[in-house]
Amino acid sequence: MELVLYTRKQCPLCAEAKEQLQCLQREIPFRLIEKDIEACDAWTEKYGLMIPVVEYKGEMLGYGRIHLFAIKDRLHEIHEQ
């Protein structure tokens, strides 16, 4: 399983989201892929005011202030289907 974290440099919320997701990796094994939105104009346009953004298979699981329990619950729902 892979989660994508859209982020940018010097973003305190992004650093916080990354730390939370790393903690979640202890419970649920997944690969965390970080993407700097400044590397792609389309990402900047889509996520510029929302970062950090966490996605799984294109589904947005959270943005802004990340709520780890909501992401965890959603991942469990997805894998029960």
C-alpha distance from residue 43 to each of 40, 46, 65, 72, 73 (Å): 5, 5, 18, 24, 26
pLDDT tens, residue order, the chain (81 aa): 999 999 999 999 999 999 999 999 998 889 999 999 999 999 999 999 999 999 999 999 999 999 999 999 998 888 776
- The CATH number for 2-80, chosen from 1.10.760.10, 1.10.540.10, 3.40.30.10, 3.40.640.10, is 3.40.30.10
Q: For the chain, what are the domain ranges?
A: 2-80
What's this model's pTM, rounded to 2 decimal places?
0.90
